[in-house]
Each structure stands twice: as structure tokens, then as C-alpha cells.
Structure 1
Amino acid sequence: MPQFLKTFLRRPAGAVGLTLLALVTAMAIFAPLIYPASPWEMSGIPFSQPGENGMLMGADTLGRDIAAGVVHGARISIVIGIASTLTALLIGVTLGCVAGYAGGALDSAIVRFTEIFQTIPNFVLAILLVAILTPSIATIILAIGLVSWPPLARLTRAQVRSVSTREFVQAARCQGQSTLSVVVRHVLPNAISPIIVLGAMTVAAAILIEAALSFMGLGDPNYMSWGYMIGAGRTVIRQAWWMSVFPGLAILTTVIAINLVGEALNDALNPRISRA
């Protein structure tokens, strides 16, 4: 682990990304302390510019504090990003392991099933699922998870197929270990590195999908989110640019931070590839 951390932090991208991500996470965790009042509360004069009337990032058309919305919106974006990625990992890694290790007809069936999902654009399918299930945090997490698992399944399948042919896996089979034991104890630990990297990238993609859904009015109406704020401010962007710019910068910063961390993870977990 110390060597892993040294390799990770040696990359400027890793240090910068981790710092930015830590700041966003801290903002999400301590949002009730930073802005105790509800972000929906009308606490100022409508259209107040940044810095006016004690509002750091200005106010929206109803007098709601933009800074409070950005801080509280961080929690929603991070929770949905992580939870939907875990859902995608659960589905994708499970199907990928089964397909890669079993092979044969079962492998072909899972591959064809995965290809069906990949023929439909992710965002279109997410819109359809959320619209059918009615917008809420749970349905958004489920929808994003259901559209994000195919790349994880394909990567897991390829990794498992590669690792399954190695000598130590064959030795474990000869010792009489069960299939589940071989996969969990020997195959997955040696195939997990690229899956972790892709999982980190999936969090960033999930945050973008959630923001797009909220922008279109398909977010949870009970929670403030960055996408909702951008959507609410788009009609007055010429008169009040700050309503859309600040939440947009929050999304941009978070996604860049996650991608930088993902690149550094790739270098740390695959040192030979990064040196090449």
C-alpha cells in the first residue's frame, strides 16, 4: 500500500485530482454546517449579483442563494454518482465474471444480452427509465446503474478470461476448490485493477448523466442539484450568467477531479503499462 500511494501521488494529476475531490467531498459532507438554511429558501433579493447582499455567488430569479445550492447540490451529485456506479459494478462484474469464467453458450448469451443494451444510447434509455418510474433519487440511481454496466461487463469478461488461463488458477482447480472460491479468491483479485479504473470513470459519467436529467426536469424535485440549477437559470443566462455558470463550474471541477484520479489510479495499478 505505501508503494501504491507513492506511485499514485507521484503523478501531478493524482495529487491535484485527489485534492479537488477531497474539497468537493468535504463540501458535500459539511453542507448543513456551511449553509444551515435550506437551499430552497428565498434568502435575498432576486437577481442579486455575486458579492451583493452578502451572497457570494449571487441569487437566482426567486432570491435563493446560489452558493447554498452549489454546496448542497454536491451531496446529491456525489451520492448518485457513487451509488449508481456501485449498482453498475454489481451487475457488470457479476455478468462479466460468469461469462468470462463459464465460456461456451452461457458466455455467448451474456455477450448478446450486453450488446442489446449497448445498441441503445445511454442517455435516451436513462430518460425513458426515469420517466416511466417517476423521478426520485432511487429511480435515478437505478436508471444510471442500468445504462452504465455494459462496459464494465465487457471489461470484466475480458480480464476474467485472461486470468482464468493462468497456472495458479489451474492449480486451484486441481486442488478441488469450488468455482465460487476460485473466482473470488484467485481470479477477481488479479483482474480487478482495470475494473477499478473504469469504475472511477463511471462515477464521473454518472454525475454528468444526473446533471443532464435534472437539467431536463427529471431530477428529484425534493433535492437541489447542479443540473436543476443550470436548467433553472438557462432562460435568463444573458441577464444573470452566475445562475448557470457556478453550478456548471462545480460539475466541471468534480468531473475533472474524478478523471484525474482515474488516470493516476491507472498508472499506480498498472505501472508497467504506464512506463511503456
Structure 2
Amino acid sequence: MARAFLRHKGAVIGLLFLVALGLIAALAPLLFPFSPWDMQGAPFTPPGEDHFVLGTDSLGRDVAAGIAYGASVSMLIGVVSTLAAVGIGVLLGALAGYAGGRVDDLIMRFTEIFQTVPGFVLAIVVVAILTPSLGSIVVAIAVVSWPPVARVVRAECLSLRHREFVQAAEVLGRSHAAIICREILPNVASSVVVLASLMVATAILLESSLSFLGLGDPNLMSWGFMIGSGRSVIRLAWWMSVFPGVAIFLTVLSLNLVGEGLSDALNPRLARRRG
């Protein structure tokens, strides 16, 4: 699997970028030993002047520091919300696919309720009700992200529940929970891992969009907030919006490339062809 992933050049480049981004986020307090909210220079300082690599914003705050601190916020929200969504989706999808019948119908109708409402609109409503904060953003993104996971897991469980190894486990008297956890879910893991890697990118975009609209955590610097604060002066200080936008673009692109690499590596047919 590792060899198949490493042969995917785009996935390797994406992984290296994500590792570098993680290091920048982790070392942000050392690279910029001050709050990203503090004024560090004259407002609207262009990139490259007065030791400001990416310039300053309308209040004299260092744009590079904002991007570095915002990286940890975006990655944290993306990973935590994805883990929560995957947990909900796997639980409901596995229960629906394995139980079948009325249980399956009930869970799928419940899933369709969330899918009929536009995800971004639902996320705005959830954050507005819970008040903007880190926790409410994670909850909102998890709420709108779990249905695709549930459908994928359900489809896999439906195809696996009648396989010989599952029937053998039933004959041996194993509990339904043990069969789902030990026999079915390990065979579904590859699909979930690939989907999760793509969901992190979607979560980062959602968080950036919410922050752009002013629904982000007011105590945390984020890329979406930086773009939103610079949109009114885009002609005067283009760097305020461009550099955070480039950071979002490269991060989402890298996550998608890693997802494609994982898909190829975890797909037995593609792995055999390349092997």
C-alpha cells in the first residue's frame, strides 16, 4: 500500500505540503512570539517591507502571523469535525446496513432529512443558534457532513452481511456488535479513510466560509476571517485577502491529492495494475 501511495506523485507532494503546514502551525508561537491580533507595524504595509514578509492588514497586524496561527485553527476544526462526522456516519450506516428492514428504512429517511437541506445553510443555522465558537463550528460541520459517510458504510455493509465469513461468525454465536466491529467494519475502513481525507478539505472550506461571514470564533484568527476583513480594501491591500486565499487553496488541493493517492493505494485492482 505504501509503495502504491508513493508512486502517486501528486499525493506525495500534497502530503509534504500538509506536513510543512502542520510544522508551521505547531511552531507558530516560536516563529511569531506575539498575538496575531496585536498591531506590529504601520497599516497596509506591502509585502516585503519593514521585515513583514506578507505585509500588514488595515490595523497593522502581521498577515504572515495570522496565516500561521490560522493554520492550526483550520486543521483542528477540519480534523475534529471530520472525526465526529465519521463516527456518526459509521455508527448509523453500519446499523442500517447490517440490520436492514425497518431499521434501515428509518435511518435512511432520517439521513435524507439532512440531505434535503443545503449543507452550508444548515451550518449557518446551527452556528447562529449555538452562537459562534470553536465548538459550535465543529458541531455544525459534523452535522452537515455525516450523511455521505452513512450511505457509503450502509452500502458496504449490505454487500458484506451475506458473505461467508459473516455467516460463519453468526453460526459461532458471536453478538451482532462483535460481528459489525470485527468482521464488517475492518472491510469498510479503506473506503471510510479515503472519504474522510476528502471531508477534511470540505470542513476547512466550510469553516472558512463561516468565518468569512463573521460566524467564526471571535477569539481565534482564521483564514476565512482574514479574507473577509480584507474584502473591503482589496484594491488598496490585495495581500490581505490573496495570501489567506492561497493558503486555503493549497491546503484543500493537497488534501484532495492525498485522498486520490489513498484511493489508489487502498484499491486492490489499481494496486495490482501498478505493481
TM-score by length of 1: 0.97
What amino acid is aligned across from residue 198 of structure 2 in structure 1? Answer: M
Residues 1:255 and 2:252 are matched in the alignment: yes
Alignment partner of 2:157 out of 160, 168, 192: 160
In the TM superposition, residue 247 of structure 1 has moved relative to its aligned partner by 0.4
The one of 93, 97, 109 aligned to 2:90? 93
CA distance in 2, matches of 1:34, 1:253: 21
1:53 aligned counterpart, secondary structure = coil
Moved over 6 A (4+): none
Residue 113 of structure 1 is aligned with which of 110, 114, 119? 110
Deviations 1:230-258 (A, max 9, x none): 00000000111000000001101110111
Please list, as runs of the form range in 1=range in 2, the aligned pairs for 1:134-173 lying within 5 A after superposition: 134-173=131-170
Q: Distance in 1 between matches of 2:23 and 2:148?
A: 30
Identity across the alignment (%): 57
Deviations 1:246-271 (A, max 9, x none): 00011011101110000000000013
Return the alpha-carbon distance in structure 1 between the equivalents of residues 120 and 227 of structure 2: 18
Unaligned runs of 5+ in 1: none
Q: Which residue does 1:12 correspond to in 2? A: 9
Q: After the TM superposition, which residues 113-262 of structure 1 pair with which residues of structure 2 at under 5 Å, given as runs?
A: 113-262=110-259
Describe the shift of the 1:253–1:53 C-alpha distance in structure 2 as closer, same or farther (beyond 3 A). same
SS at match of 1:64: coil
Which residue is 2:37 aligned to? 40
Q: Could you tell me whether the CA contact under 8 Å between 1:44 and 1:59 is conserved in 2?
A: yes
**Structure 2 equivalent of residue 77 of structure 1:** 74
- In the comparison of the two structures, how many residue pairs are matched? 273
C-alpha contact 1:163 1:191 (8 A) present in aligned 2: no
Q: State the secondary structure of the residue aligned to 1:239.
A: coil
Cα deviation code 1:133-183 (max 9, x no counterpart): 000000000000000000000001001111112111111111111111111
Aligned residue type for 2:15: L
Q: RMSD between aligned alpha carbons?
A: 1.0
C-alpha distance in 1, partners of 2:23/2:114? 36
Supply the distance in 2 between the matched residues of 1:92 and 1:36 (Cα, whole angstroms). 40
Partners of 1:91 and 1:236 lie apart in 2 by 42
Aligned to 1:67: 64
| Aligned with residue 53 of structure 2, among 48, 51, 56 | 56
